[in-house]
Amino acid sequence: MSSNNSRKRMLLRISSVLMLLIALPMLLWCLNLINNASLEYTYAGLGCFASGIAYIFSMVTAIAGLTFAGQYRRYFWCRILGYTQLAMVVLLVYPLRFYAVLTLPPLFFLTVLYMLGVGWREERDYELQ
């Protein structure tokens, strides 16, 4: 059981570090896409700006994951941030249209890895203690 916990904790740390490393370049890339996207689709420029904000939010999520790794009683906050981030990704698909394929996959995959490290439901916190 302890080996499984250490793997999850390591997965949380790795996904958080990767989120931090990818967030700034993807933020800048999303901001550079605003002009081109706004010419092609009605709300795509706004969607690119919002995806840049989502990458800024992913920095907060990643910092929380690094700070609370191993503190199972605090995983509730990490879980809320992860679910919020997943909801943002899903909501941004419509305004981005084609640009969602370009901007959102790193955020989606790293958030799923993050949630696998934290756990998808709260009962796991009580089982680990």
pLDDT digits (tens, 9 = 90+) for 40-91: 888 899 999 999 999 999 999 999 999 988 888 888 889 999 999 999 999 9
Look at residues 125, 114, 122, 118 and name the one whose alpha carbon lies nearest to residue 73.
Answer: 125
Q: What is the pLDDT at residue 125?
A: 45
Q: How many domains does the chain have?
A: 1
Output the pTM of the full model. Answer: 0.86
17, 10 Cβ separation under 8 angstroms: no
**φ and ψ at 107, to 5 degrees?**
-65, -40
Q: What is the pLDDT at residue 64?
A: 94
How far the first Cα of the chain sits from its last, in Å, is: 11
- Give the model confidence (pLDDT) of 10-52 as tens digits: 999 999 999 999 999 999 999 999 998 888 888 899 999 999 9
What is the domain range of residue 57? 2-128
99, 49 Cβ separation under 8 angstroms: no
CA gap 94, 51 in Å, rounded:
12
Structure tokens at 69: 């790794």
